[in-house]
Amino acid sequence: MGILDDAKKAIGLGTAKKVETKKTKTNKTEKEIATKNKQPWVKVLNMELDADNPGNGAFELDWNEYFIKQLHDAGYKNEKEEDAVDRWFQDVCRNVALETYQKSQEQTDPVRREDLGKGRASYE
């Protein structure tokens, strides 16, 4: 098991795997429609949580070839499809976590008010 696998295990992310989705009323899947229209498509199909530790779990993803092309164009190159999607999903999760952390820090930082006189104040 490599460092990347250890990191995924530590943060509770499973590996991406490709599966088929259900058909719509038009007898075509969302994926088939997007692919026909040459549009990138990715979807979270399933999420599993560890019953003993709900902070751990895995996501099951599906995607089309145009999503892979979009990832390649964005710099997720020279890797298998599953690895590119895995790395992209980890980046999304990391960005969400960082944004959440930054917002929590902003809320916990005390706001300093300095009275400047004449009804004016400075806030830091």
User: In this predicted model, what pLDDT tens digit does every residue of 34-46 receive, in sequence order?
Assistant: 999 999 999 999 9
Q: Which residue has the tokens 């999420």?
A: 47
The number of beta carbons lying within 10 Å of the beta carbon of residue 86 is 21
CA terminus-to-terminus distance, the chain: 47
pTM, whole model, 2 decimals?
A: 0.63
What is the reported pLDDT for 6?
Answer: 44
Residue 12 has pLDDT above 80, yes or no: no
CB 82 within 8 A of CB 18: yes
User: In this predicted model, what pLDDT tens digit does every residue of 34-78 receive, in sequence order?
Assistant: 999 999 999 999 999 999 998 899 999 999 999 999 999 999 988
Tokens for 47? 């999420």
* Residues in Cβ contact with 19 at an 8 Å cutoff, skipping those fewer than 6 apart: 45, 60, 62
